[in-house]
Structure formats: structure tokens, C-alpha cells
Amino acid sequence: MDLRLGNVAATPAERQAVESVLGPAVSRWEGGVRADETEGHVAHGGHEARARRHLLLPILQALQQRVGWISEAAMDHVSERLTVPPADVYGVATFYGLLSVEPRAPRVLHVCDDIACRCAGAEELIEGVEKLLGPENGDDSQEVTWLRSPCLGQCDRAPAALVTVAGAKPHEEVLAPVPGADHAVARITHGPEVEGSEDWVDPAATVPEAGAPQLRLLGRVGHVSPTSLDDYRGQGGYAALRRAIELGPEGVIRELKDSGLVGRGGAAFPTGVKWEAVAHQAVRPHYLVCNADESEPGTFKDRVIMEGDPFALIEAMTIAGFTTGCERGFIYLRGEYPQAKATLEEAIKEARARGMLGRDVLGHGFEFSISIRRGAGAYICGEETALFNSLEGFRGEPRSKPPFPVAVGLFGKPTVVNNVETLVNVPEIVLFGGAAFASAGSGVSTGTRLFCLSGCVEKPGVYEVPYGTKLHTVIEMAGGVAGGRELQAVLLGGAAGGFVGPDELDLELTIEAAREAGATLGSGVVMLIDDRVDLPRMLMRIAGFFRDESCGQCVPCRVGTVRQEEALARLISGDTRGTVEDELSLLDEVGACMKDASICGLGQTAYGAVSSAIKLGAFSR
């Protein structure tokens, strides 16, 4: 492939960042001149280099962490090393919110201004930060700056911020809750600059009922050292993997089908059916992907499991690999979770050292390994096919279906994709049987479910309850509305979900009941909105979120999310085109178009929260 590159060379720091992922460059030299490079014209690498395109995002992340932004010269160097067109490198680098192709200060404070943090005073925090650091991304010294951020997955500890420090020893940490602007600015200005941190938050703090005997998925959180394999095994860990080997792949799939386990990410597809479809594919290799990119505003349950009980996920993935014939698994972890990354890396290292991962797992002759790949700030990559594109080194744009991932998934091979909560249900099913699991709940809603309580609630956190529990019961478990104030609405399922009113709290939390009520459980969000919250302005934030996060691939979503936000802005300002009813009618038309014609779930659900709020009278006069 012929590549036309610029004349500016990458800096030593940029080259070192690329080499940290790819290793040193190997070139042919003839007479002291590179035989494969003349006047900015490069032709080398070929298929071998392009076979490493899946490392493109990790390389760009390494550049961002080392330098603080990604220059044109750095992108040209990456293009040369991977034999990938410069336009492709630029297209990927500009796709993700945590990457920058414009000069940026090495120290960045990302302040969440999404819906849960707004309920907890994010706007006041941002005003304070702006007074201390100046306008957003406007620091003249290029040393410290700040940015508004979409949801950071810390809704239980709002308001939240993410600190990133670029350099030879990059540093990341989450501040949650942020006690004030002074504290946040002090951390970004004078905070630690070494890799890792011992100042991690106790995951049990997000589980108000930690230690309760009825907990299944959350039972070990706070009661074992997250990175101690001995602690995990002392609590029954890896008994399920041994049992799975005894049952064999067909036996595990049978138990999964008997359990009725469905995906916990919102689509609710039967897990046993998915695993069986991949297991029976003759094409090899098979891949397993754990979707840990929980970017839905209001969702943080998977974070708690990964930080508090990582071996449960590792064991579940190993069972999945054994059952479906996958020799390699990937955890696609959202980029804003540094604590989960550090915890998982240490746990995977320990499992590998103790024979729980590798070429001969537990001495039973099957191979399985796990790699962590971090997202870089793109909500759309929670969609499974967009996730595949991201892993492969392309822009995270969804693919059309069919073909489905069970036949043509990651790298074009059969692929199992499940989120964290879905996977960690598997060990219990294998150990105690599918029928025992299905005894909780009914219909397609079997087992227990994790719900993320946030917003204007007294005790935010993750709550585990059997399917079929009433909405008001879960709210009461969390202490009700904070301060005893009046409840205005409850957002179910996150930004892609919908609002229900105070008169609908008798709703059974099952997939069937939610659908019948015109709602969705989605990823388990239960966000309380009290009477102080300006609901129309919250809708504007949700609309802005979808506009920013749309990948832009299809017209209904790319244009519809913009038109939706514009109509809401007119309604809020009072500068309507015609009557309020005219604007609401236009919103309905735009929403119907997005729902019916968008390629993926982002566009199909972008109007859900807005539509439900309108029905609750958000714009009534």
C-alpha cells in the first residue's frame, strides 16, 4: 500500500508511546538509506503490519496518555507503522471523546454534567471550577484545563470528576463525590503523578446491603479481597468451573436454557441460545467478548462487580470459553474506570499464574486467555457490533444485521457477547442448576436483577432483588426520596429508557411488566427525580447526550438527534414555531423516524425518555 505522509517527524516521546504497544520498528537499510522510504512516500509493512490494526486504539490511547494529545505527525507515524491510511487513523482518533487531535493541556479535569450529577449539584461545581481555571478547555498556559464530561459511571457518588495526567508516568483517578471546586482543582493541579493509586474506593460502599444473606451476585463484594484468589476460592470460587468441566459443554448449555437467563443489558436475549449457536459453529476460531462498556447514564452495577469481585467475572468467562469453544476472551472496559482496570489486571495476572487461565486451564487440556481492551469515551461502543469495530481498529460504528455475531462477529468469526452482570450469573447456574435459578421470578424474567439507584435518592447504590419486586419496594430499600421531598418522576433504564410517574410505583420490575407499561428496565437504572429538578432542562441534557454520542453513520439518527434537541430548545425558550402542540407533533414525527429507521439501538431509543416525559406533562401549561 502506498502512503503519502507529511514532512514533520514524530517526537521521541510520540515514538516511544507507539513502541510501547508495537515494539521497536524494524526497517531494511541499504547504503545508509531506508530502501522503503523516500520523500514522505512509504510502502512497506504489508499484510503483516495491517494484521495488527486491532492495536490502533491502544496505540492512540498510549499517545494520549504520554503526550496529552495526538498530533498529525504522530498519526502519520502510526499510519506508517501499521500500513493504515492516514485518513483511517484520523477517523479513529477523532471518534472518541477521551482522545484529542488538538493541543490540550497534559492535566485535564473531566467534570461530569450528566443527569445524575446534575441532581447532585454538578452545575454549581462547574461554576466553581470555571472561576478557578477559566473557560472550558481555555487555559493559556497549556498546563491544566477542564472539560464537561458525559456520565462517568459514578452516579452513586455524584457529583463526580475524572482526573487525567499525561506524561512519562501517566495518572488517572476518579473523584467521587467531589466535595467542592477547590478540592477538584487541587487534585488536578497538585495530585499524584505516578501510575496506579492506593487511594481506591471500597466497592462495598456502593452496596448498601453488603453482607445480606440473600445476595447472590453481590455476596462477596466487601467480604473478600478483590485481588486475592485464595479469598475467592475460600468463598466457593472456581467450584463452578470444575462443575462445568464435569457437565461438559452440552450440559452447561442445558442448564443455561433451563435457567431462563437472558441478557442483562436491555435486549434480554436468551443466553443459552446464544452460547449454543456459537458452540455449534464449525468455523474457527471462536471469540468471547465481555461488554464492560456500561456507558448508559445512571448505570454503575458492572463497575461494582469488576472492582469488588473480579474473579467471579474471570471464572464466568472461563466457563463461557470452555462451553462455546473460545480460546480467547476480551473484556472491553469503559475508559473512565481506572480502578476496575487495575483490579482486573491484577486478578487476571493472579489467575494466569495459578493455572486458572492459559494453555492448560486447571490441567484439563483446554486453553483460554483474557485480554483487557479499554474504550475511549464512546457510548455507541456499548452496541455489540460497534464494539467489534472498535476492537478491530475501526471507528466504533454499528454494523447492519444479519449476519449476527454468533456467526460473523469479531474478526469475522463466531463470537459470544455478554455483559458483566449476565456472565456472573453463570457460576451459580452451573453449581446449583438451572431450575433453582429459575425459581426466582417468572416468565422470561428469572433470577435476581441488579438495579442502580441514583439521583434524588436517600441511599444511592446497587440493589439486588428478585425479578418481580415492585418498584416502590426498591425505592423504599434505598430510603426513598432524599430529604423526604416530593417525587416528580422516576427514570427507568437510563437515557435510553423512559420516565414513569409517582402513580406508577406499583410496577413489577420484570421485562414483561415494563413492556406492558410502555417502559423498559434497560441496564437497571432507577433514577429518582424530585420536585426541585427542572425536567424539561433534564430532557435537553438527554437530547444533547444522544446528539453527541450518535456515530453519525445513518441519517435518521444523525439528523434526528439534532432536530430533537432544537425542538426542545424552542419549547424551553418559548420561541416556538407555531404552537406548543405543533412542536410536540414535530417531536413525535422525528422520534418515530429515528425509532423505525435507525441502524442501531441508539437512534431507536433516543426519543424514549423525551416521549415519556411529555406524556407526564413536562411541557403542559
The string of DSSP codes covering 58-101 is HHHHHHHHHHSS--HHHHHHHHHHHT--HHHHHHHHTT-TT--S
Q: Give the span between the Cα atoms of 257 and 273, in whole angstroms.
A: 7
- The arithmetic mean of pLDDT across residues 242-250, rounded, is 97
- The arithmetic mean of pLDDT across residues 506-532, rounded, is 95
Q: Give the span between the Cα atoms of 259 and 429, in whole angstroms.
A: 7
pLDDT at 5: 74
Amino acid at 242: R
Q: Give the span between the Cα atoms of 243 and 253, in whole angstroms.
A: 13
pLDDT digits (tens, 9 = 90+) for 485-514: 999 999 999 999 999 999 999 999 999 999
pLDDT digits (tens, 9 = 90+) for 83-122: 999 999 999 999 999 999 999 999 999 999 999 999 999 9
- Binned at pLDDT 50, 70 and 90, residue 6 comes out as confident
Neighbouring residues of 334: CB distance < 8 A, sequence distance ≥ 6: 153, 292, 293, 294, 295, 374, 375
pLDDT digits (tens, 9 = 90+) for 420-441: 999 999 999 999 999 999 999 8
% of residues, the chain, pLDDT over 90: 88
Three-state SS annotation for 127-145 = HHHHHHHCCCCCCCCCCEE
The phi, psi pair for 32, rounded to 5°, reads 80, 5
Helix axes 310-324, 301-308, angle to 10 degrees: 100
- The arithmetic mean of pLDDT across residues 465-482, rounded, is 97
The phi, psi pair for 456, rounded to 5°, reads -85, 60
466: cis peptide before it, omega within 30°?
no
Cell 419496594, residue located: 473
Mean of pLDDT over the chain: 93
- Binned at pLDDT 50, 70 and 90, residue 36 comes out as very low
- The answer, yes or no, to whether residue 228 has pLDDT greater than 50, is yes
Q: Which three cell numbers stand for residue 608?
A: 424514549
pLDDT at 27: 58
- The arithmetic mean of pLDDT across residues 254-278, rounded, is 95
pLDDT at 138: 83
β partners of residue 290: 331, 418
The reported pTM is: 0.94
pLDDT at 46: 58
- The answer, yes or no, to whether residue 48 has pLDDT greater than 80, is no
- The answer, yes or no, to whether residue 585 has pLDDT greater than 50, is yes
Q: Give the span between the Cα atoms of 409 and 423, in whole angstroms.
A: 18
Going by C-alpha positions, the residue among 618, 567, 526 that lies closest to residue 115 is 526
pLDDT at 207: 96
pLDDT at 139: 67
